[in-house]
Amino acid sequence: MRDQVHSKTRVRYPMVRKGFLASPDSPQGVRGQDEFVRVSWEQALDLIHAQHQRIRERYGPTSIFAGSYGWRSNGVLHKAATLLQRYMSLAGGYTGHLGDYSTGAAQAIMPYVVGGNEVYQQQTSWPMVLEHSDVVVLWSANPLNTLKIAWNASDEQGMTWFDRLRKSGKRVICIDPMRSETVDFFGEDIDWVAPHMGTDVAMMLGIASTLVENGWQDDAFLARYTSGYEIFARYLTGESDGVAKTAEWAAEICGVSAAKIRELAKLFHENTTMLMSGWGMQRQQFGEQKHWMLVTLAAMLGQIGTQGGGFGLSYHFANGGNPTRRAAVLASMAGLRGGRY
């Protein structure tokens, strides 16, 4: 941060393209080639406001997209999106956006799957994971990298919990096409499985199919806590489309051997398994399918709502899983079975 403040590459003053400054309504020159001219803050603000008004009067307020959405300094006042949208509202309106870049697909589908956003909600607490989980699966997650990033300033408490997980002796599996910093962090204490990029759903379907083949799915849980499983089951077995989503079928798509897929299914079934998903795999076309299928797999295991079991979508960011309060946490999967979470 200090290096950025004093960097020679930092733009310290308002700079305007020369061709634009000479004729704001019909700029001359070529972007990328035209030189920049230093102007005062007052002149820069006047130029911006004048162009916003010109465009708004000619094309309407919907023609202006207030697109700044991301990072900020501490406090709401120093959040670029808040300040920009406040100005745009006062000036006559703008086009905004729904969702965000980080979880655009997941947060759109999760309310229809589990009744809440989930990607930014309370996760099963780390003490519960360390005490009760037998197997922890990091699916498309690189927490050793992403826990160092936050909206304001990262406090990296989550790093301590992952270090405790590494020393706990529990079975940890990382499913990621790339060998990440997290894989290197765990070293010999992690099982790294590398499917082809974008084939997570196929791999999950292969695991789910293996559960059904062996009668390992939790029918009681599925009947009581889910809706629509019978439709999914017909798709899984190929009854609805003629294609059985077996481990062999999945292996041809994801590049992970059928034997490994079956091994994972057996491991997940026989142990209290926590599926910790990252967000990277949903940043693609049909990305919502990834987390939807992850929750489906967790439901088939029947461990959602149990101590140390189920799934979580935010252990890799903003210290998800850290105990944040002593009172009951209601806005999560915690109360699904009415037990201690």
DSSP summary character for residue 65: B
Q: pLDDT digit of tens for each residue in the chain (341 aa)? A: 677 778 888 888 999 999 999 988 888 888 888 999 999 999 999 999 999 999 999 999 999 998 776 666 656 667 778 888 888 999 899 998 888 878 888 888 889 999 888 888 778 889 999 999 999 999 999 999 888 877 666 667 788 899 999 999 999 999 999 999 999 999 988 999 999 999 999 999 999 999 999 999 999 999 999 999 999 999 999 999 999 999 999 999 999 999 999 999 999 999 999 999 988 889 888 989 999 999 999 999 999 999 999 999 988 887 677 766 555 555 555 455 554 43
Q: Does residue 233 sit within a domain? A: yes
Structure tokens given for 24 = 């704001």
Among 201, 145, 141, which residue's Cα sits nearest to residue 176? Answer: 141
| Active-site residue identified among 13, 41, 59, 69 | 69
Q: Say whether both 222 and 297 belong to one domain.
A: yes
Structure tokens given for 31 = 């972007």
Which pLDDT score, from 0 to 100, does residue 152 have?
Answer: 62
Cα(265)–Cα(251) distance, integer angstroms = 14
Q: Say whether both 149 and 34 belong to one domain.
A: no
Structure tokens given for 48 = 């911006």
Q: Does residue 10 sit within a domain? A: no
Q: Say whether both 79 and 188 belong to one domain.
A: no
Cα(133)–Cα(240) distance, integer angstroms = 35
**Boundary of a domain, candidates 66, 91, 116:** 91
Cα(341)–Cα(336) distance, integer angstroms = 9
Q: Say whether both 65 and 156 belong to one domain.
A: no
DSSP output for 298-337: HHHHT-TTSTT-EEES-TTSTTTT----SS---SSGGGSS
Which pLDDT score, from 0 to 100, does residue 319 have?
Answer: 64
**Boundary of a domain, candidates 36, 56, 91:** 91
Residue numbers of the domain that contains 129: 106-335
Computed from CA positions of residues 159, 164, 166, 167, in that sequence, does the dihedral angle turn out positive or negative?
A: positive
Q: Has 69 been annotated as catalytic?
A: yes
Q: Say whether both 56 and 116 belong to one domain.
A: no
**Boundary of a domain, candidates 43, 66, 91:** 91
Q: Has 216 been annotated as catalytic?
A: no
Cα(334)–Cα(193) distance, integer angstroms = 29
| Active-site residue identified among 59, 71, 101, 151 | 71
